[in-house]
Amino acid sequence: MLKPNVLFLCTGNSARSQMAEAFLRYYASDLFNAYSAGIEPKGMNRFTVQVMNEIGISVEGQYSKSLREYLGRELFAYLITVCADAEARCPSVWPGVQYRLHWQFDDPAAFEGTEEEKLAKFREVREQIKAAVEAFVAQERNKYGTAAASRR
């Protein structure tokens, strides 16, 4: 059985969508193929790498990608936007997408403050994304009756 593809989409593909991709890969690589992209990719934010490493989840091998990299090349069962801008600007019709979801998170990369305050914002958003991905995985495992235990 082929695993469904999930695409997380945000504006810059530097933080939120990258975290979501890493969490889905970590918690449910047996169930899904995880991808991320941005409307206007800006490169991986260094704080994204740092806060994910803090909890033992690597984003190594991930990089900032454009939405265009996947249009017409990959089929996604799920398209999950993680910011209002991406939700508004994403093509309304995407061939193959069965489920389109929107999860709203603040953009930690846009947060102004000291280095420690920025890190705190990245950690806060990381935890919100982690919770959303865990809930999504639990729901999908229940829906399909898969008994595989989720990793904690």
- Give CA 61 to chain center in angstroms: 15
Q: Which of 24, 49, 59, 90 is catalytic?
A: 90
83 is annotated as an active-site residue:
yes
How far apart, in whole angstroms, are the C-alpha atoms of residue 31 and residue 24? 9
Q: Which of 6, 7, 10, 15 is catalytic?
A: 10
End-to-end CA distance of the chain: 25
85 is annotated as an active-site residue:
no
How far apart, in whole angstroms, are the C-alpha atoms of residue 45 and residue 64? 9
46: part of which helix (H) or strand (E)?
helix 46-54
Helix (H, G, I), strand (E, B) or coil at 79: strand
Q: Which of 20, 22, 83, 125 is catalytic?
A: 83
90 is annotated as an active-site residue:
yes
- As annotated, the active-site residues are 10, 83, 90
